[in-house]
Amino acid sequence: MKKLLLLLLCAGFLHTGPVFGWGREGHETIAKIAERNLTKKAKKRIEKYLGGHSVVYYAKWMDEYRKTPEYAFTDGWHTAPVDAGLRYADELLNPKRGNAVYGLELAVENLKNYRSLTDSAVAVNLKYVIHLVGDMHCPAHIKYTTHDMKYDVLFEDKYHKPHKFYVHSVWDNEIITTTRIWSVSEWADELDRVSKAERQAIAAGTPRDWLHDAAVCCEVQFEWAKPDQQLGQDFLNKALPLVESQIQKAGYRLARILNDLFD
């Protein structure tokens, strides 16, 4: 009986459980790419507020604290809605729930005056920025109002055995954990290899522009992973470059926001 209950709980978690955005590897690699692109001055100032830690150390912090009473108000901040034109759907914003763009814009506004904030207020707003730039670049965390996003797929393990997964967790975790078993430093070192001009072009614009770009690039997810479809190597060969491109862009954009604020 106990076993059955556990099984049911696990199944429930897989299909309707909380959604956390990129898993550890995705968030930390984004932060690592950002860290590599911070100016010396910005890095030093930021780390002073983070108690001597790097931006990588707190990349997942928002996922770890979203269920604690003190930060429960941020629980709805991990996804961002786009309209039929794939632009940020401002009108869908419920201020009580918020979303990734809402939280990010709020934190950036707060940090513009970081010298007049308490050290702990600066630290928490920094943790918001570090995480939310990542979440809004994750295919499954862009909420397309024109697509059904709640379905399962059959994702193959390394022995080509299919397992039922909520499609969301395939994008958050499975693609990465089955293909990139590297440290975040190694992965960041591979992805952070574009010219200065390209980096600047990627990082230009506002968070709303970035969400639009992400929504355009990631809409193909509905072609590549349809309900109940079995996803094997062919899927990974398409999905991984998309995931890596999103992580790379998020890293450069995060660096730009932080340099603008703290350099």
Binding site for Zn ion (CB under 5 A): 21, 63, 78, 135
What minimum distance in Å lies between the beta carbon of 254 and Zn ion?
14
Nearer to Zn ion, 21 or 98 (CB): 21
Min separation Cβ 132 and Zn ion, Å: 8
Q: In what order do the strands lie in the sheet with 152-156?
A: 162-166, 152-156, 230-231
CB of 20 to Zn ion, least distance (A): 5
Query: Min. distance of Cβ 100 from Zn ion in angstroms?
Result: 8
Q: Closest separation between CB of residue 143 and Zn ion, Å?
A: 13
Instruction: Give the CB-nearest residue to Zn ion.
Output: 21
For Zn ion, give the closer residue by CB, 27 or 43. 27
Q: In the complex with Zn ion, which residue's Cβ is closer, 16 or 39?
A: 16
Nearer to Zn ion, 172 or 244 (CB): 172
Comparison of 78 and 249: residue with beta carbon closer to Zn ion: 78
